Structure 1
Amino acid sequence: MQFKDVIGQTHIKEKLVQMVQHNRLSHALLFLGKEGSGGLSLAMAFAQYVVCEKVNGKSTPQEAGPSLFEEEPTSSTPHSQVQTDSCGVCPSCIKAQKLIHPDIHFSYPVITKKSGEKPVSTDFITEWREFASLYTYGNVYDWLQSINAENKQGNITAAECNEIIRKLNLKSFESEYKTLIMWMPEFLGKEGNKLLKLIEEPPPNTLFIFVAENESEILQTILSRTQLVKITPLSNLEVEAALELRSGANIEKAHQVAALAEGNYREALQLLQHAEADWHSLLREWLNAILKTGPAAQVKWIEEISKQGRENQKQFLKYFTHLLEQAVRARSFQSISENQGPELDFAQRLNKLCSIPQQEAIINELDKASYYIERNANSKMLFHALSIKLYHIISNNSLILVN
């Protein structure tokens, strides 16, 4: 993967290139960014940049560039000669793109295939190559589902730590540098302390790249030994452009999905996949069942929503949250365009139905429901409980929702 294949993050790409070109690269980096912001994509693109033969000067003697970990040369590289991306065509780049470069190693959460086994990442390398090529912006749930983990908890095990130590103490095969990309170090328990000596005193020309989403869940002993590279969420315009160019979405649909995704490209792809679902009608039916038509209608609606998959249920709750946020924004405008569309019309109805504190309470309940859905909560029980909570929050002003 090249930097040009990574959505947005222009400033971070430039920073990473400068680290290499000016010999300021730390041997242990932490790429920290929320889900869908492109941390894994950046890590793979950067690893390819490091091994690229044109970047490190192996393609021709005249093009020899600076070493990553040596003293900075007295004469800086002319701007016209600075390689700001890997070439994509040299043998090293081709191997890196296929995730088969012998000096780029990957570590990620895995599961035990058989009782008593001590799983390591290479047990799932074929599945990883497919996942990292097709779902670069996927999350750990997507990965575990792709290896049929079902309800098993993924881990980066002590056996994996021992394997990392073994691999990184070997000489590099082709490149001058050995790189380890550890995706989701949050799944590294106390056994991660095995890596501390290696991180503190690595073999020459060894680069660690940790790709994480939640800083608070990373071992502090590892966190303190890394240089932070903070990855910001994508802008709506960047998500919108990516949906149009990469997924063939039309301009209107890409604009709507980007607004809902809030900088999370993985979420945007999920929303686009379910874009034909009529969340608007489903939400109207639910609120009328809660506030007007009674328990029988609620049971019927809950039966319907419980047949949807977990991703569909999460997208529906996210859509409701989006409408409530629209409702809060609509209160700030004295006049609304006549051509406001169904979403703003519904948002105005929600404003007549609920005060801002009520809307905040509903959003809080929807967020908690999404959290429990991710953790395999029983959907019927969850939506029954959620319906009761919404009834008590909103009270009985139900006629507002009827056309």
Structure 2
Amino acid sequence: MQFSNIIGQQPIKQQLSDMVQHNRLSHALLFLGKEGSGALPLAIAFAQYLVCEKVRGIATPETAGPSLFGDPEPVVAAPMTDSCGTCASCQKAAQLIHPDIHFSYPVVTKKAGSPPISTDYITEWREFLKQYPYGNVFDWLQFIEAENKQGNITASECNDIIRKLNLKSFESGYKVLIMWSPEYLGNEGNKLLKLIEEPPASTLFILVAENESLILPTILSRTQLVKIPMLNDRDIEEALVARGNISSGQARQLAAISEGNYREALNHLNHADEDWLNMVREWMNAILRGGPIAVVKWCEEAAKLGREKQKQFLRYFNHLLETSIRLRVLGEESAFSQNLPPLEKDFALRLNKMVELPQHEALIEELDQAAYYIERNANAKMLFNALSIKFHHIIKDKARVSVW
């Protein structure tokens, strides 16, 4: 995987290549980025950059030096900012089989009586990364059919890491360990402290995490932080058009409700045929015009969607509310207004006629809270009924009430 395969994150790519070119590379890095930001693909691309033969200048004319026989001195090429993708090391790294790039990740016991270690799942891991490079731990555990088991990075895994990294590198100048989700590493992670603090020559640890507060402080203090920001909407839109084979208009809508999370954008893409806007219209009509029977009927249908679709629907409604706020502030003649899909713009303008900014804020807060409860397996029918009552009072009475 090359940097060019990673969505967006140009400043981070430049920062990483500069660290190598200017010899400022720490022996332990923490790639800290929220779900869907691409922290894991970036770590893999960085590992490939480190082992690339052309980046390291192995047997290339550019680094050969002046000739002993009077030939002209070779032209020194500019530093490479990405791996070549063609040398033997790059090809192995791209297939996740390079002998000097090791992986550690949460796993469950595969064989009864044997301690779980990452190597047991290396085949599944390679396939997972090919299919879901922006996936999260939940996706991974589902992929290996862990069912309700809790994934962990165990003491046995730590011992295996120590064994691997104390071996001499096979092909490249670096030995790289990419540990995905060190949040799953308990106190047994202290086994790695000496190795992290005094690693063998040219050994690099890359920890890829979402929540630094869940990482052992003893390990956290020994790493150099590399913050991976969320993706911007433009980068997600371009990636969806190029990789998802959808129109730019549809990609723009999906990017807008993904909040910088490419994994979430792909989930939305899988349900792109859902008519969320029409569903919002039906809900508002039931609340404001249809009466209790219409509301109950709508809530029964919404309860059948399933948790993931319910969260996507609520997130889309939030997007519409945010759009209406921007329209109110920027005006109908703004560039933002001109780029909106006509149906979304029409709905946002109608909403602005019914509610003021305080009500917008109240509605957004209620939708966020509802998504929180759905994530925690709340009864969907009761939740949407309660939310409908709240919306009625917020819009009709311009009040905030609590019925949870």
TM-score scaled to structure 2, two decimals? 0.86
Q: What is the DSSP-based 3-state SS (H/G/I as helix, E as strand, rest coil) of the residue aligned with 2:152?
A: coil
My pick for the range that moved more, 138-147 or 196-205, is: 138-147
Size of the aligned set, in residue pairs, is 386
Kindly indicate whether the alpha-carbon contact (under 8 Å) linking 1:35 and 1:213 is maintained by their aligned counterparts in 2.
Answer: yes
**What one-letter code is carried by the residue in structure 2 that aligns with 1:3?**
F
Kindly indicate whether the alpha-carbon contact (under 8 Å) linking 1:108 and 1:183 is maintained by their aligned counterparts in 2.
Answer: yes
Deviation of 1:396 (Å) = 6.0
**What one-letter code is carried by the residue in structure 2 that aligns with 1:223?**
L
Question: What residue in structure 2 maps to residue 162 of structure 1?
Answer: 159
How many Å separate the matches in 1 of 2:221 and 2:78?
Answer: 35
Kindly indicate whether the alpha-carbon contact (under 8 Å) linking 1:292 and 1:396 is maintained by their aligned counterparts in 2.
Answer: no
The 1:288–1:118 alpha-carbon spacing in structure 2 relative to 1, beyond 3 Å, is farther
Question: What residue in structure 1 maps to residue 70 of structure 2?
Answer: none
Q: What is the DSSP-based 3-state SS (H/G/I as helix, E as strand, rest coil) of the residue aligned with 2:30?
A: strand
- What are the equivalent positions in structure 2 for 1:339-358 lying under 5 Å apart? 341-358=342-359
- What are the equivalent positions in structure 2 for 1:34-73 lying under 5 Å apart? 34-60=34-60, 63=63
Question: What residue in structure 2 maps to residue 68 of structure 1?
Answer: none
Q: What is the DSSP-based 3-state SS (H/G/I as helix, E as strand, rest coil) of the residue aligned with 1:19?
A: helix
How many Å separate the matches in 2 of 1:165 and 1:349?
Answer: 62
My pick for the range that moved more, 194-203 or 94-103, is: 194-203
Q: Provide, for residues 202-258 of structure 1, a one-character-per-residue CA deviation record: whole Å limited to 9, x for no partner.
A: 121110111122222222222211111111222222222212222222122122222
Q: What is the DSSP-based 3-state SS (H/G/I as helix, E as strand, rest coil) of the residue aligned with 1:35?
A: coil
Deviation of 1:124 (Å) = 1.9
The 1:384–1:145 alpha-carbon spacing in structure 2 relative to 1, beyond 3 Å, is farther
My pick for the range that moved more, 188-197 or 23-32, is: 188-197
**What one-letter code is carried by the residue in structure 1 that aligns with 2:23?**
N
How many Å separate the matches in 2 of 1:60 and 1:2?
Answer: 20
Question: What residue in structure 2 maps to residue 11 of structure 1?
Answer: 11
Q: Compute the RMSD of aligned alpha carbons.
A: 2.7
How many Å separate the matches in 2 of 1:117 and 1:396?
Answer: 63
The 1:318–1:22 alpha-carbon spacing in structure 2 relative to 1, beyond 3 Å, is same
How many Å separate the matches in 2 of 1:253 and 1:3?
Answer: 26
**What one-letter code is carried by the residue in structure 2 that aligns with 1:368?**
Q
1:266 aligns with 2:267: no
How many Å separate the matches in 2 of 1:346 and 1:144?
Answer: 40
Question: What residue in structure 2 maps to residue 88 of structure 1?
Answer: 85
Question: What residue in structure 2 maps to residue 31 of structure 1?
Answer: 31
Q: Provide, for residues 347-386 of structure 1, a one-character-per-residue CA deviation record: whole Å limited to 9, x for no partner.
A: 2333343333332233223223333434444433443443
Q: What is the DSSP-based 3-state SS (H/G/I as helix, E as strand, rest coil) of the residue aligned with 1:54?
A: helix
**What one-letter code is carried by the residue in structure 2 that aligns with 1:273?**
N
Question: What residue in structure 2 maps to residue 279 of structure 1?
Answer: 276
Which of 137, 141, 147 lines up with 1:144 in the alignment?
141
Question: What residue in structure 2 maps to residue 323 of structure 1?
Answer: 320
Kindly indicate whether the alpha-carbon contact (under 8 Å) linking 2:318 and 2:367 is maintained by their aligned counterparts in 1.
Answer: yes
The 1:390–1:110 alpha-carbon spacing in structure 2 relative to 1, beyond 3 Å, is farther
How many Å separate the matches in 2 of 1:83 and 1:127?
Answer: 32
- What are the equivalent positions in structure 2 for 1:361-400 lying under 5 Å apart? 361-395=362-396
**What one-letter code is carried by the residue in structure 2 that aligns with 1:195?**
L
Kindly indicate whether the alpha-carbon contact (under 8 Å) linking 2:29 and 2:225 is maintained by their aligned counterparts in 1.
Answer: yes
The 1:16–1:324 alpha-carbon spacing in structure 2 relative to 1, beyond 3 Å, is same
Kindly indicate whether the alpha-carbon contact (under 8 Å) linking 2:62 and 2:77 is maintained by their aligned counterparts in 1.
Answer: no
Kindly indicate whether the alpha-carbon contact (under 8 Å) linking 2:62 and 2:76 is maintained by their aligned counterparts in 1.
Answer: no
Q: Provide, for residues 321-346 of structure 1, a one-character-per-residue CA deviation record: whole Å limited to 9, x for no partner.
A: 10111122122145458987221222
Which of 132, 136, 142 lines up with 1:135 in the alignment?
132
Question: What residue in structure 1 maps to residue 238 of structure 2?
Answer: 241
Q: What is the DSSP-based 3-state SS (H/G/I as helix, E as strand, rest coil) of the residue aligned with 1:127?
A: helix
1:183 aligns with 2:180: yes
Question: What residue in structure 1 maps to residue 107 of structure 2?
Answer: 110
The 1:333–1:97 alpha-carbon spacing in structure 2 relative to 1, beyond 3 Å, is closer
How many Å separate the matches in 1 of 2:145 and 2:382?
Answer: 26
Question: What residue in structure 1 maps to residue 205 of structure 2?
Answer: 208
Q: Provide, for residues 274-293 of structure 1, a one-character-per-residue CA deviation record: whole Å limited to 9, x for no partner.
A: 22210011112223334443
Kindly indicate whether the alpha-carbon contact (under 8 Å) linking 1:321 and 1:363 is maintained by their aligned counterparts in 2.
Answer: yes
The 1:95–1:390 alpha-carbon spacing in structure 2 relative to 1, beyond 3 Å, is same
How many Å separate the matches in 1 of 2:212 and 2:200?
Answer: 26
Kindly indicate whether the alpha-carbon contact (under 8 Å) linking 1:369 and 1:382 is maintained by their aligned counterparts in 2.
Answer: yes
Structure 2 unaligned regions, length at least 5: 66-73, 399-404
Kindly indicate whether the alpha-carbon contact (under 8 Å) linking 1:144 and 1:154 is maintained by their aligned counterparts in 2.
Answer: yes
How many Å separate the matches in 1 of 2:197 and 2:113?
Answer: 32
How many Å separate the matches in 1 of 2:214 and 2:233?
Answer: 28
The 1:297–1:4 alpha-carbon spacing in structure 2 relative to 1, beyond 3 Å, is same
Q: What is the DSSP-based 3-state SS (H/G/I as helix, E as strand, rest coil) of the residue aligned with 1:221?
A: helix
Deviation of 1:179 (Å) = 0.5
Q: What is the DSSP-based 3-state SS (H/G/I as helix, E as strand, rest coil) of the residue aligned with 1:234?
A: coil
The 1:342–1:219 alpha-carbon spacing in structure 2 relative to 1, beyond 3 Å, is same
My pick for the range that moved more, 369-378 or 238-247, is: 369-378
Deviation of 1:200 (Å) = 1.0
Q: What is the DSSP-based 3-state SS (H/G/I as helix, E as strand, rest coil) of the residue aligned with 1:272?
A: helix
**What one-letter code is carried by the residue in structure 2 that aligns with 1:45?**
A
Question: What residue in structure 2 maps to residue 2 of structure 1?
Answer: 2
My pick for the range that moved more, 330-339 or 263-272, is: 330-339
How many Å separate the matches in 1 of 2:154 and 2:375?
Answer: 23
Kindly indicate whether the alpha-carbon contact (under 8 Å) linking 2:62 and 2:75 is maintained by their aligned counterparts in 1.
Answer: no
TM-score scaled to structure 1, two decimals? 0.87
Deviation of 1:81 (Å) = 3.8
How many Å separate the matches in 2 of 1:108 and 1:51?
Answer: 21
Deviation of 1:100 (Å) = 1.1
Q: What is the DSSP-based 3-state SS (H/G/I as helix, E as strand, rest coil) of the residue aligned with 1:124?
A: helix
Deviation of 1:128 (Å) = 1.2
Structure 1 unaligned regions, length at least 5: 66-76, 398-403
1:226 aligns with 2:227: no
Kindly indicate whether the alpha-carbon contact (under 8 Å) linking 2:39 and 2:228 is maintained by their aligned counterparts in 1.
Answer: yes
How many Å separate the matches in 1 of 2:192 and 2:369?
Answer: 35
